[in-house]
Each structure stands twice: as structure tokens, then as C-alpha cells.
Chains A and B, each alone.
Chain A
Amino acid sequence: MHSRQVTEHPVLFILPALGLMLLVALYPLAATSWLSLRDEFPIFHISRFVGLSHYVTLWHDPRFWQSLTNTGYFAVVSVASEVLLGLGAALLLHQLFPARGLVRALVLMPWFIPTVVAARAWEWIYHPHIGVLNFLLLQSGLTTTEINWLGHPFLALHAAIIADVWKTMPFATLLLLAGLQTIPSDLYRAARVDGATGLQAFWHITLPWLIPVLSVTVVFRMLDALRVFDIVYVLTGGGPANTTETLSIYAYRLSFQTLEFGYGAALAVVTFVIILFASLLLQFLLRRVGTTT
């Protein structure tokens, strides 16, 4: 296909997008960074520049470290589960079977549901007394006592992870399914001619071809998971004893419950930097995996 070259005013064409970026991404970021260097405490009429002191406080704040650990654990476990399960689902949905279109649409259902609504539904599923999960476990004899899913320090975070995996796995499935469809079927036919098994075909054709899509999926999901707020906030509110408090929940509480705007902004900036580095690192690692395979 022949395309005319446009070289005269490329800057002009990028300007609207750039302007929008500046307005909705860079300006708030700069404003938050500036706020994080100030002490803004309306109740006490405090409004002054304090430099980096909020960041020093944050370094010594055990609640920050706990929320960071919670967030990291949540992100790694949920994204790994989502991508693995999503890959499995995508491979199944890629097969030809009757009513495939319908099933594909159905699989996406959880993704359509607003997160807060999904979290409410899971709250009822986990309800120790009248929840369907405990009902099934008790009926099947797997347990004899009611399990308090959201009230147990160890179980609560995992309960939130399961709800999140259910909610966002379809997103991974969708992306990976699209990736699968770009693999030329000739390759599989050639592999079959050469006598490759299904597993060999998967390792040597499917996976290498999927790497670009896989890395996009992982990065997208990681970005989302590291700033998780709504599903955890609705399910546990950060409890019990802050064992499910994520960085975003802590920042929300600082900014909107105790109204320590400056300190809250510092936490938001740190969260942003962590997410930025995590995504850069992930892209770097995945690119290396991509080139070695």
C-alpha cells in the first residue's frame, strides 16, 4: 500500500494530544508533588512549606510499609493468577466449538460489572453467616465451622485477591485471545507435519508469539493492581487491623478522612513512583524474555 508522506507540520498534529496529556496527567501530578512538600492541615489553619519532611516521616511510618507489603503481595498474586487463568481460558475459547461466540461473551461478564457492585456481591458470598461460600463448604462437609473470610487476618487479603481475579481475569482472557488469533495457522500445520505434540506446539509456537501480548497484559494489570482501591475498600475497608490496607486506601484515608492533605499527597507521589518503576522494570524484563525466546 502506498501512503503519502506528511512531513510538513508533524508537531501541529501532536499538539492537541500533548496539550491534553499536560492538562489531565502532568498538571495534577505536578500539583500533587507540590502539595506533598507542604503541610496542609485545614483544621489547624496550617499551610506552610515543609520540604521533604513528609517523605522522611513516610520512611519511618510502619503503616506505610505494611500497606506497601499488602499492595505488593496483592498485585503479584492476583496478576499472576489472572494471567495464568486468563491464558488457560483464552486457549479454550480459541478452540472451535458450538456457540463459541456466546461463551466468549459470557466469559466477559464479570468485566462488565462495576467493581463496587462486584465487591458488594462478593461481600455477600463471603458472609460468614449467610454467605453462599460457607453454605457450600458446610453442605459438602469440607468444613464443620463457619469461616470468617473477611475477618481473619490471613484470609481477608486472599479473599480480596480471589474477588479481584474473578473480576479482571476476563480482561486478560480478551487480550490473550486476540493475541492467539494473530498466530498464523500455517505454523501449527507445519508443526503437525513435523510430528510435534500439542505441548511442543504450545511451547515453541504459541508462547513465543504471545509474548508481546502477554507483556502488555501483565503491565496493564500490574498498573491496575498496584493502585487497587475499590474492591478491597468495599470488601474489608482495610481491616482487620490494617492487614488489607493498600497504598491507595491509606492515601485515601490520609487525604479524605483525617484530612492530612500534604502527607496524603506525599504518599500518592510515592505510590506513583513505585508504579512507574514497577512498570518500567516489568517491560524491561518481558522484553528480555521476548528476545531470548
Chain B
Amino acid sequence: MVVLRLTRQRLLPSPACVLLALSLLVGHLGCHPAPPEDKSLRLVFKHPRLLSHEEPLQALLNQFRAAHPALQLDEEILPSSSDQQHLFYVTNLEAGATDFDVFALDVIWIPEFARAGWLQDVTAMLGSAELTDSIPGPVTAATHAGRIYAIPWFLDGGVLYYRRDLLDKYGLTLPHTWSEVRTAIQVVLQHEANPRLTGFVWQGKQYEGLVCVALEFLRAYGGDVFTDQGEVQLTQPTAVAGLQALRSLIADHLSPTVVTTADEEIAQHIFGRGEAIFMRNWPYAWRLLNAQDSPVRGRIGVTAIPGSNAHVGVPTLGGWHLGINRLSRQPELAWQFVAFLTSAESQRQLAIASGLQPTHLSVYADPQVQQADPSLLLFFPLLQRAQPRPVTPFYLMLSQVLQSEFSAAITGLKSAEVALQDAERQMTRILALEQKETTRALTTGD
């Protein structure tokens, strides 16, 4: 009974899912291409739906099919919940699955999968030319023990949205530090008559988004989760100052209390109704906020995540990579396929068609891209400094600790100092496991 309850998957049956299921069904019944003679040449690409519409990716896949007529290239779509994607990969890769070759990876899973030995080492794919053309953050995020295990596909990172009309009205300049953000909010709120107007909305619900935001605050004050040597440094005064700054936004009524339950959607909803001066979000919100029916259309701007007087702001890196299953039966083709999909040319096409942020620097310089979507260029300077969340195989466990302790701090259940002490204690225990395993492996020669 216990087992049954745990394994029952809870999927929200969204209309998109139903449509997807239907389209897959129709695809299998109708217009499925006849498999080629040589069945061994089959490549399976596993990924969740990352694009708002499918055509741009389909066009790319067809290009690859055209270039490899003997190949049967299939894609298989994962459910939209991040937990379920992760679980799917882990259970299948752990069981030695060979039925998919190339798969899309959230940036935070790469060290974990690399450590488990499920990903092919793709260091050689990133030659010096590719490396110099690549934004550094995503490459760092895919590096485990000095080797690269996944190729950046597209980039994501935190940015600060603001109401340009309101800042202009009070002669305020763009904030570069969080204290300037505070001042700007105080000035605007003091003079604006709208009782529904709030200051700064962000993601404060107990989930992954909170870790991203809190990390931006820690880093703005010079703190971080780990030192360069990999030791936990959460109790340093810099980290405490960062978390305190985040908490004080709510305590000082510069952020509405709703942020403690807000995810991206809720924050965007409040800001999109014109009821907040600032919002921390990802680049995706830009197109929504500037849609025809958006009340804030044309009245907003976007700037880099602020820092403090002593430290420059560091956006938290998100985005997706492509990895190759180490047990793939078609390593050569898989390699070619990843190189093709992550190439500057493919990224250029995806960027123009769907607004995804490329990881190749050269794409941003492309005049065609500039013409097609100027907003891509808008984000590029803001995301260049983006840094990944702690790059460790333990990230998912650490994130659970951080989510709950950060949540306790911003809701005022614990002081920032106590929350960070508690987090550090739990994290040290988790990391001790790593050491124990390493020594065990050494002594048993495993």
C-alpha cells in the first residue's frame, strides 16, 4: 500500500499534455515515416518541451534527417514536471537504458549524472574555437572533475525588470545595487497614489526558484555557498548580509508578503498588471509583458541583477544542455547530432524563431538576429556574468536544505544567521557522504 501510494505519479492533466498525447497518437497512426531498411541506425532524442511552439525545432530535426537519409531520428517527449524528468532519467540511466541516445539536461543535473557515469565525456567537442565563442557560465556548469559532460544548448539567467515610466517620472537612474533599488522603491511608493502598487516582486516560494534569487543576494554581498576549495561558507558575514538584505525587503514592506509564495508566474502576474515597480525574473517574461494586451507594454525595461557597493551583481544561471548517453549504440551519430543542434547556426535559427538565448557569442553579433528580435541583444549583456548554482553531484540534496532554510529566513521563522547555520550543518553532513564514499572506493579499489 505504501509503495503503491508512492509510485503513483501525479501529473497535472493540462490541455497541452492532452494535445501532445493526441498529436503523438496521430503521428503514430498516420504520417509516421516508414522506418529505413537498416534498423540499427536509429537515434532517439529525449527532451521535455522547452519551446513555446514546436516548428523551429522540427525544422532543425528535419535538416539533420535530410543530411542523414539512412538514419531514423526519433524524438521522445518527457512530461513537463522537472521532478519527473529527473526521475525518468535517473531510473532509466541507472538501469542501463540504451533506448535513447541524446537528451536535454537542466543545468543543475549535469554534475550528478556525470558523477554517476551516465554521460559521455564531450570535452573534445568543445575545441578552442567553440570555447572562445561560448559564454563561460554554461561551460563551468557542465564541468565535473575537469572534464565537460554536456554541451550548452541555450542560456537562461536572472534579470531585473523595472517600470521605466515610474523611474523616469521621479528622475531615478537605473539601480546598480540593491540599496539603490530600495531607495527607488521608497521614492516611488511615497509619491504614487495607487494603493495596490508594491515595490519589488520575486520568487520566494519554497522551491528551486527561491534558491536562484537568494543566491543572487548572497553573491551581491560577496557571499556564496562554497569557497573555491569547495568548503561550505554559508555562515560568513557576507552570506548573512545577503540573506538579511532579502529578508529586510519583506520586513520593510518594500516587497509584498505575497512573494513568500510567489513563483515566476505569480511575480509576472503582479508586475504585468502594473502593480510592482521591480521584478526579478527570467528573460522569457519579456515577450509576455510586451504582448499586445499587456497593461505594461512599452512601459518597462530590463537591467542586470544588481550588486552592492563592493561587489558586482551575479545573475543565477539557468538553461539547458545536451548530453549523450554513455551507453548509446550510436555514439558517432549522437555526437554529430549534438554538435549540429548546439551549433551557432542552429542556435541562430532557434533564437530567431522562439526567442531562446543562444550560448554562442557569435550569434548575438549576427545582424539577422539583431533584426529579427532586438530583445535577444537586450539580454545578452545582462546574462554574460551569470554563474551556475553550486556545481556538485549533490546539488539536488543541497537544494532541498537551502530551499527550506531560505524559506525560514524570508518568512521570519528564523534569523538569517540561524537559518544559514542550520543549512551549513546539514550540508556538511551531506558532503561527508561524498568523502566517505571516496575513501570506500579507494580502499576497496572499486
Q: Which residues of A contact B (CB under 8 A)?
A: 24-25, 28-29, 31-32, 42-46, 63, 116, 120, 127-130, 146, 148, 150-153, 227, 229-230, 233, 236-243, 248, 251-253, 255-260, 264, 268-269, 271-272
Contact = CB atoms under 8 A, between A and B. Distances in A.
B231 to A, nearest CB: 20
- From B1, B83, B112, name the one whose CB has the most chain A CB atoms within 10 angstroms: B1
B31 interface: no
A28 B4 CA distance: 7
Nearest to B111: A43
A29 B3 contact: yes
Interface stretch (B120-128, B293-301, B363-371, B396-404): B396-404
- From A46, A130, A148, A251, name the one whose CB has the most chain B CB atoms within 10 angstroms: A148
B169 interface: no
A159 B175 CA distance: 38
Contact of B1 (A128, A255, A272): A272
A24 B4 contact: yes
B2 A153 contact: no
Given A43-B393, A237-B207, A243-B413, A148 B261 contact: yes
Interface string B412-433: 0110000000000000000001
Interface in B58-97: 83, 86-87, 90-91, 94
B116 A241 contact: no
B413 A29 contact: no
- From B2, B3, B10, B414, name the one whose CB has the most chain A CB atoms within 10 angstroms: B2
A235 to B, nearest CB: 10
Interface stretch (B148-156, B252-260, B351-359): B252-260
B206 interface: yes
25 contacts: A24-B4, A28-B2, A43-B112, A44-B116, A45-B117, A128-B256, A148-B258, A151-B411, A227-B5, A230-B10, A237-B205, A237-B206, A239-B404, A240-B261, A241-B404, A241-B413, A242-B408, A256-B87, A257-B83, A257-B86, A259-B396, A260-B397, A268-B3, A268-B6, A272-B2
B404 A146 contact: no
B270 A129 contact: yes
B437 interface: yes
A257 B3 contact: no
Contacts of A130: 269
Contact of A229 (B5, B112, B400): B5
For this complex, into which size category does the number of interface residues on chain B fall? 35 or more
A153 B393 CA distance: 31
B407 interface: yes
A42 B86 CA distance: 13
A128 B196 CA distance: 12
A28 B261 CA distance: 36
Contact of B2 (A127, A236, A239, A269): A269
A61 to B, nearest CB: 10
B12 interface: yes
A290 B115 CA distance: 60
A248 B207 contact: no
B95 to A, nearest CB: 9
Contacts of B12: 116, 120
Contacts of B86: 257
Given A29-B1, A130-B269, A152-B260, 13 more contacts: A120-B12, A129-B258, A129-B275, A146-B258, A148-B261, A150-B261, A236-B261, A243-B413, A251-B6, A253-B400, A256-B87, A257-B83, A258-B397
Nearest to B3: A28
- From A120, A129, A152, A259, name the one whose CB has the most chain B CB atoms within 10 angstroms: A129
Nearest to B117: A45
Contacts of A260: 397
A151 B203 CA distance: 12
A46 B116 CA distance: 10
B94 A42 contact: yes
A151 B412 CA distance: 11
A259 B90 contact: yes
A151 B112 contact: no
B261 A151 contact: yes
A238 B206 contact: yes
Nearest to A48: B440
Contacts of B261: 128, 148, 150-151, 236, 239-240
Contacts of A150: 261
A63 B400 CA distance: 11
Contacts of A257: 83, 86, 396, 400
A242 B269 CA distance: 25
Contacts of A31: 3
B206 A32 contact: no
B258 A28 contact: no
A29 B2 contact: yes
A264 B404 CA distance: 18
